[in-house]
Amino acid sequence: MHLSEKEGIEKNSFVVTGGLGFVGSALCIELVRRGARIVKSFDVQTHSPFSPQLLQNGVHLIQGDITDKQDVQKALRGADCVFHLASYGMSGKEMLQYSRVDEVNINGTCHVIDACLDHQIKRLVYVSTPNVVYGGKEIVNGNENLPYFPIDDHVDPYGRSKSIAEQLVLKSNSRPFNKKNGKCLYTCAIRPAAIYGPGEERHLPRIVNLAKLGLLPFKIGSPNVKSDWVYVDNLVLALLLASMGLLDDIPGREGRPIAAGQPYFISDGSPMNSFEFLRPLLKCLDYDLPKTSLAVSHALLLGKIFWVFYSFLYPWLNCRWLPQPLILPAEVYKVGVTHYFSFLKAKEELGYVPMVSYKEGMAATIAYWQERKRRNLDGPTIWAWLFCVIGMSSLFAAAYLPDYGPIPFIRAVHLFFFPSMLALKLMFVLAAAAHLGEGIYAWNLAKRIDPANARGWFWQTFAFGFFSLRLLLKRAKK
């Protein structure tokens, strides 16, 4: 399919559900660039890091809930094409919220389909997931002929709900509009690989934060395990080509559109081991990649333990103080079992060819994260935190607190290493003075090389001493 880059876009109106997200915002901006008349971003959020850029490009920001039928009906009115990206439960704590996952991914999709039929919107592009056919069993260079993974066998509600939603979307293809006028709705589904790029806020921040804290203790599975990734610009291109593939008024191609009722796998076409994929990024950020490996069976056991533990914390899953689980079963399958897919069908039918290679995409992603790290306060690992907090607290307790509870035991342990209480108190005073001196030095140094975070460097170095100061010295050296 060879069409103008503005075919079906110029002078048309679009709605992007989940439009304040990473992919949704990039899609909105590209639609504007290609001459769309109106672009609406429909999202439950009122603001995101991408909001200012969207507003600068003239995108209409509509706040609403995909699970509220009236919100959806209102947002989609007047659209010529809808890109349905909104979803919930892809990773982390969200995966355990079964009811919300189904409500957003299944009910929300039904509302979108109904609104398209009510408002006579001819094109609906649904963003799905490879998990509709993958559930932990190896797939090598799979294609769209693979059957759906059995609904009851999914290990997480996200894959199950997205499978149901995709089937609803594809079965709605060619459904006549509610106002009988001889026209109908055309639908297709895009199944993107794991998405990356500058500004991605779901996978990479979680991985980078774990590496920063020293909480990436092991790889999972064999080094030969491979999976797909897709750079954001490549995915946006695929989505636009899919919308063109639903046009039924192209001269010489009138009738059923080529993409109608079809699913498409989309990737960069460079399957690789997930940990090798991340190596250049973590290396450039001076974070360590784990050297030891954990068998998939053992990682699954660990994931199930986290699943059970966090299930008991269900009422607090949305609380910011509750950290993300280290790993969950579905995430073990994502990184520990080979599964990658061919985009040949998308190439032949839509004309999709990745325009950004893995090397180019990773270079842009690394540059973004290096700048992000430069702007923010860098901190020590969790082990340094624990060493300093526990060490200084126990030293203070042994030196100055009265005998109560565990204090006599803590004092006895310290006196095993120090000759007297006077020496113990003197050690605490010297340690506190050293931390204060290091904090003042860090503050003066940061005022020259990182003035925006100078106060943060002082307090962090005062608390953690050389563990923090060495990070600032490394930044000064660079």
Give catalytic residues, as residue numbers: 158
C-alpha of 322 from chain center: 18
Computed over its alpha carbons, how large is the radius of gyration of the chain?
26
Q: How many residues does the chain have?
A: 478
**Helix segments in 376-406, DSSP class H:** 382-400
Q: Three-state SS for 10?
A: strand
Tokens 């799905």 -> residue: 128
The end-to-end CA distance of the chain, in Å, is 49
Of 9, 18, 22, the C-alpha closest to 53 is 22
DSSP string, 255-310: SS-TTTTEEEEE--S--B-HHHHHHHHHHHTT-PPP-SEE-HHHHHHHHHHHHHHH
- Given a contact cutoff of 8 angstroms between Cβ atoms, the answer to whether 63 and 74 are in contact is no
164-195 core/surface letters (b: 16 or more CB in 10 A; e: else): bbbbbbbebbeeebeeeeeebbbbbbbbbbbb
Residue 195: beta bridge partners?
230
Give the whole-angstrom CA distance, residue 460 versus residue 381.
Answer: 12
